[in-house]
Amino acid sequence: MDSTILLILGQDGVVNGAIYALLALSLVLVFATTRVIFIPQGEFVAYGALSYAALDQGQLPGSVWLLCGLGVAAFVAGVWRGRGTGGLLGLGLRTLGLPAVVTMAAMLLAPRRPGVAVEAVLALAIVTPMAPYIYRIGFQPLAEASVLVLLIGAVGAHLALTGMGLLLFGPEGSRAGGFSEASLSFGDLVVQGQAIWIVGLALLAMLALYGLFGHTLVGRALRATAVNRLGARLVGIPTEQAGVIAFGLAGFIGAASGILIAPLTTIYYDSGFLIGLKGFTAAIIAGLASYPGAVLAALLVGVVESFASFWASAFKEVIVFAVIIPVLLWRSWRAPAGEDEE
């Protein structure tokens, strides 16, 4: 192996790691605020990528119909349980109005091929709201359930969304045009424009999350909910709202990650799961608790993956997931035995 290959593998690792870092951050966020281990995160990556790719080809992505369906289901669930915040009108606007507007915009714009930026925004608008709808339908009623029950529910959502992905996008994979065809060279190292976009946007998103949590009321409310649900409710934070926001952010980050990687690799309806699982590996290494830890662990996962695919490509996935074994061993060493299972 010479230094050029080393640089290329390192670059690949950092680019993938940036995506895993975004996913890991949102997984930590969702787990901390709702105790849901958000397995369907990967489906949001695939949905984002495939919706963007469809728009890029001038087609209406099938995901708009799922958005409308989930909106209606969330509306029915909201009415069934007694509206919660904002009254019937607010609920209607959020669950029926929004998908209608997004669908109409997509129908109007898709055939005109409005350019990369508009397509990306449109894909985000289609995919992101699905996450809060899913929270309202499936997880809000389970808010007091144990972590394991929530985890099983999340796996159910993953299963349903994967099947839906096959139905909406078909079994063929898609690849979209990039944000930038440019490439820069630094000596031996050639850096693709798309790679710069990915790392740059990932950094921006991390900074934005940092700002949100450190310096805004919403962010503080989310943190308070994460530390103590009951306490947060007692001081007047609507914890259900916190769940909706956390899911919304996770959906947004998932879809955005999908849009960013769509030009790099062919995405199939079920590709998201493995990508999301690598985000998980990073989040688990960070103990599902530390944000900077999750970012570092994600970079580690990305680099391990790119080197593994060079040396032993057939066993790439085996090696990547085996990374968590020493971490779990170490955690297990330090953990006190004998705590109660819920």
Partner 1 sequence: MRWLAVPLIAGLLAGVPWLPGLPLFWVTLLNSIGIAAILVLGLVVLTGIGGMTSFGQASFMGFGAYATALLTTHGVSPWLALPAAILAAGVAAAVIGAVTLRLSGHYLALGTLAWGVSLYYLAANLDALGRNDGMSGLPPLVLFGARLIDPRLYFPVVWAFVLLACLATRNLLDSRVGRAVRALRGGAQAAASFGVNIFRARLVAFVYAGMLAGLAGWLYAQMQRSVNPTPFSLNASIEYLLMAVVGGAGHVPGALLGAALVTLVNDRLQDVLPRLLGAQGNFETIVFGILLMAVLQVAPEGVWPHVARLWRRRIRSHPLGVPPARAERLEVGAAVLEVSALRKRFGGLVAVNDVSFTVAAGQIVGLIGPNGAGKSTTFNLLTGVARPDGGRVRFAGRQLSGLPARAVARLRIARSFQHVKLVAGMSAIENVAVGAHLRGRAGALRGLLRLDRVEEAGLFGEAAAQLARVGLGACADRPAASLALGQQRLLEIARALCLDPVLLLLDEPAAGLRHQEKQALAALLRRLRAEGMAILLVEHDMEFVMGLADRLVVMDFGTKLADGPPAVVRADPAVIEAYLGGVA
**Chain positions contacting partner 1, by CB under 8 A:** 37, 138, 141-142, 145-149, 151-153, 155-164, 166-167, 170-171, 274, 277, 280-281, 284, 288, 314-318, 320-322, 324-325, 328-329, 331-333, 335, 337-342
Please state, in angstroms and rounded to a whole number, the distance separating the CA atoms of residues 278 and 47: 17
Residue 208, token pair as written in the block: 């934005």
Q: Which is nearer to partner 1, 104 or 328 (CB)?
A: 328
Distance in Å, CB of 276 to partner 1, minimum = 11
Q: Which is nearer to partner 1, 15 or 37 (CB)?
A: 37
Distance in Å, CB of 5 to partner 1, minimum = 23
Distance in Å, CB of 167 to partner 1, minimum = 6
Q: Facing residues of 183 across strands?
A: 192
Please state, in angstroms and rounded to a whole number, the distance separating the CA atoms of residues 102 and 126: 6
The b/e string for 91-130 (b: 16+ C-beta within 10 A; e otherwise) is: bbebbeebbeebbebbeebbeeeeebeebbbbbbbbbbbb
Burial label for 184, CB within 10 Å (0-12, 13-18, 19+), is exposed
Residue 259, amino acid: I
Please state, in angstroms and rounded to a whole number, the distance separating the CA atoms of residues 310 and 11: 13
Q: Which is nearer to partner 1, 48 or 279 (CB)?
A: 279
Please state, in angstroms and rounded to a whole number, the distance separating the CA atoms of residues 258 and 124: 10
Contacts of 236 (CB under 8 A, 6+ apart): none
Distance in Å, CB of 156 to partner 1, minimum = 3
Distance in Å, CB of 37 to partner 1, minimum = 6
Residue 239, token pair as written in the block: 């914890």
Q: Which is nearer to partner 1, 37 or 53 (CB)?
A: 37
Q: Which is nearer to partner 1, 158 or 229 (CB)?
A: 158
Distance in Å, CB of 322 to partner 1, minimum = 6
Q: Which is nearer to partner 1, 207 or 312 (CB)?
A: 312
Please state, in angstroms and rounded to a whole number, the distance separating the CA atoms of residues 107 and 72: 19
Q: Facing residues of 184 across strands?
A: 191
Tell me which residue of 79, 110, 82, 112 sits closest to 96, measured CA to CA: 79
Q: Which is nearer to partner 1, 153 or 178 (CB)?
A: 153
Distance in Å, CB of 325 to partner 1, minimum = 6
Q: Which is nearer to partner 1, 101 or 312 (CB)?
A: 312
Neighbours of 192 (CB within 10 A): 18
Distance in Å, CB of 191 to partner 1, minimum = 30
